Structure 1
Amino acid sequence: MTEFTIPMPAALLLGLDTSTWPAWLATIWPNLVKWGLVLVSVALIWLVSSLLRWVILFIGKRMTPKDQEFTSTSWDLAASTARFFAFILMMPLPLGVAGYDWRSLVNERGPGAIGAVMILVIAFVVANAVSRSLRRFGAQAQAHSGADDTLIAFSASLIKYIIFAIAIVFALSQLGFPAASLAAVLGAAGLAIGLALQDTLKSVAAGVMLAIFRPFRIGDFVTLAGLDGTVTDITPFTTSMRQIDNKIVSITNDKVWGSPLVNHTREPRRRLDLFFTVSYDDDLDKALEVMITTADAHPAVLKHLGTWAGVHNLADWSIELRLRAWVATPDFVQVKADLIKVIKQAFDAQGITIPFPTQVEYAYEGKQKPPPKAPDFSQHGTVRGYPTSDDE
């Protein structure tokens, strides 16, 4: 039985008859074939490694909940790392085409490369498992005892990045990098990265301060960097919050720490400050009594803390009245809307007027003055009533 063999591309191209070609082309043809195949093999390796990255991203997007951000997640990091090591593992192909002894290179570096890949895969699985376990523990602790899970969430993110960093160091050592040289290179690289990424390091430092002092925690409604929302996550780099219209906003921690922090839900109670305007002709005592009585009638108003009303300002066309009432923090928005509505209805029922802006115009009824006379220029060099330089 005859064995069927497939000729290699190099053998096919080098076996072409070049006797009729120009001398210069026939001379360089072997080098053209050699380096052309090297470029093709490099392009093929890049295509395969990119396809591997796409497959990992595809799986990651299917496994990540839709309400969570996918960019810069561990799946994204794993996809880029897998493409890099796939490219490294397949590099013997262009080396062999270029004439190098790739078999000895594979025998020498292959086990280390496989070990490096295994270390990164294990680190990826362990880091995500530890992070998820810590976050789950924090959520359960908050649900059962109301414990603050902000520090736990921050620690989960920090531990995940530390595991990745240690795994990369071990993976590089498996590829044959000496430990002492690797430490020196990492130190120099760390210094260069620190100088280049000063803003990022500022964010990490600010994230540590937020985790230690905890001016807010996950679940609080806050104002950060001029934006309002509920805090959903705190990482070493960013703080994420969900706005009222369900938009997710990520703010770098240096901006969060460097701007005024307003925590709307830290205290169990909040004070309402409402302003109403009445006419100058209305009875102020009656209006203030209606405001206090109507506010105390609301079931969510904490009457034992005292409800106060008074005159705030004498404006151009109205008198401004101010109402202060205490409510539970979760009821703040709804009670505010309710009191504005019912106090307006109570004013209407009691005949108290909320005036519109008015403007008064006065007409002058006295004798109209004659218009001023125009200057007389009939005389040469003078203006009547105005001396010239000659007159002076």
Structure 2
Amino acid sequence: MEFITSWFNNNQVMLQDIAIKFIVALLILFIGKMVAKLIRKGVQKLLEHKNVDNTVISFTSSLVYGLVILISFIAAISHLGFNTSSLVAIVGAAGLAIGLALQGSLSNFASGILLITLKPFKSGDFVEVSGTAGVVEEVNIFSTQLRTGDNKTVIIPNGSITSGTITNYSKKPTRRIDLIIGVSYDADLAKTREILTQITSNHELVLKDQAVTIGVSELADNSVNFVVRPWVKTENYWPVYFELLESIKLALDEAGIEIPYPQLSVHVNQENSNES
């Protein structure tokens, strides 16, 4: 008992120093936790203000919170006198290994954040990405889900989307229909133009405040090709496209204007031989 009392008396300064360092370390952890919460709330408010997806907000704020806590922990044990260089090296090596192992997933995650933040398309848009065309159903952190015209669900990794070309057919309120109508070289071109102009002008869904381009675009091998380019609202594109094609075909047939198609003429030369 006397030995313990003597040891405490002889090492009182050292013990006080250790106690102070321990208390300061606890304060560092406590303050670090408070700062982490404040930063997490700030990040959440910032992302919510920018209308970022809730999944991204939750993941990003949690990641920031964890990083601040980790920094606070390293600072606390460093204050206690421990050598943190080895710990930092271990954490860095572990992070590098995890990053390499999850390289594809991290790429998709980063691409998902870009898609949700920059919003090149949104749910309900008709887009073409990575060689697939369809309606966007969901934009998630790692992948985007499309519904094709024949009602198939296609899930595309976000990394593939951001690394390629994105075509958004729903972004603009209006679209131009491009039709190519071929008629015979014997056809009356003025009459053909008149019919094409009448059909596009009379269609109720063709926009009247946008000029319709109608003209000869090519003297092809089998036909004289007209371009017909009316403007419509984006949601009316396909209905008007199909209706115009049908109406033009019926009108040209009624006017006796031939729509040619490739034909192959075969000439057979027959030789008569006299048998002796």
Q: Structures share a fold, TM > 0.5?
A: yes
Structure 1 residue 227 corresponds to structure 2 residue 132: yes
SS in 1 for 2:248: helix
Contact 1:269/1:327 (CA < 8 Å) preserved in 2?
yes
Contact 1:301/1:327 (CA < 8 Å) preserved in 2?
yes
Structure 1 residue 269 corresponds to structure 2 residue 174: yes
Instruction: State how far apart, in whole Å, the 1-side matches of 2:66 and 2:52 are.
Output: 25
SS in 2 for 1:251: strand
SS in 2 for 1:353: coil
Task: Considering fraction of residues, name the structure with more strand.
Answer: 2
Partner of 2:244: 339
Matching residue's letter, 1:241: L
Contact 1:347/1:353 (CA < 8 Å) preserved in 2?
yes
SS in 2 for 1:201: helix
RMSD: 3.2
- State the shift of 1:246 in Å: 2.2
Matching residue's letter, 1:327: V
Structure 1 residue 152 corresponds to structure 2 residue 57: no
Matching residue's letter, 2:140: T
Structure 1 residue 316 corresponds to structure 2 residue 221: yes
- State the shift of 1:320 in Å: 1.4
Partner of 1:16: none
Alignment of 1:280-295 (within 5 A): 280-295=185-200
Counterpart among 253, 256, 260 of residue 161 in structure 2: 256
1:181-215 CA deviation, whole Å, 9 max, x = no partner? 99876554322110122222221222222233222
Matching residue's letter, 1:353: E
Instruction: State how far apart, in whole Å, the 1-side matches of 2:61 and 2:91 are.
Output: 16
Instruction: State how far apart, in whole Å, the 1-side matches of 2:222 and 2:111 are.
Output: 50
SS in 2 for 1:303: coil
**CA distance change for structure 1 residues 250 and 182 in 2, over 3 Å: closer, same or farther?**
farther
Partner of 1:109: none
Matching residue's letter, 2:152: K
- State the shift of 1:250 in Å: 1.3
Partner of 2:100: 195
Partner of 2:30: none
TM-score norm. by structure 2 comes to 0.66
Q: How many residues align?
A: 211
Structure 1 residue 356 corresponds to structure 2 residue 254: no
Partner of 1:212: 117
- State the shift of 1:332 in Å: 0.3
SS in 1 for 2:177: strand
% of aligned pairs identical?
A: 37
SS in 2 for 1:343: helix
Contact 1:292/1:308 (CA < 8 Å) preserved in 2?
no
Instruction: State how far apart, in whole Å, the 1-side matches of 2:112 and 2:52 are.
Output: 13
Instruction: State how far apart, in whole Å, the 1-side matches of 2:113 and 2:62 are.
Output: 19
SS in 1 for 2:114: helix
- State the shift of 1:167 in Å: 10
TM-score norm. by structure 1 comes to 0.48
Alignment of 1:28-107 (within 5 A): none
